[in-house]
Structure 1
Amino acid sequence: MHFHNGKAIRQLEISDFGKVYLTNDNPQHGESFLYDQSLDELALEESDYISDEMFNEVWNDR
């Protein structure tokens, strides 16, 4: 997920069936929905984070 000001603005779900790209303009695809809670609501570890560059590399590989 890509957050801006604590709110998810892009989300990428990767599974055996492919990739699902979610954005503010496209918040739902099938059973997938753009995360609608605050970043503070997530219990994340340091290892859960990736760089902007890594996220964008995967996001742009369509």
Structure 2
Amino acid sequence: MGDLYSLRKERDYLSRESTRKNMDKREWEIRYLKILEDIYREEQKLRGRPAPKRRNHRDNKPYPD
């Protein structure tokens, strides 16, 4: 993670149409969603609210063991 300014700058870079066209669609989606999640966490930290735990998608099973 980084400071909020650099995260927003990265988001703006990824949201450019030229960037999207030059990247694999799946890779772009993953990077963009990760940046949005990091921005949300950073904003929550600045507001003094604890950010929810980061989800581990590998452990996201439909049924418990």
Whose relative contact order is higher, 1 or 2, with alpha carbons under 8 Å and at least 6 apart? 2
TM-score when scaled to structure 1?
A: 0.29
| Bigger proportion of residues as strand | 1
| Bigger proportion of residues as helix | 2
TM-score when scaled to structure 2?
A: 0.28
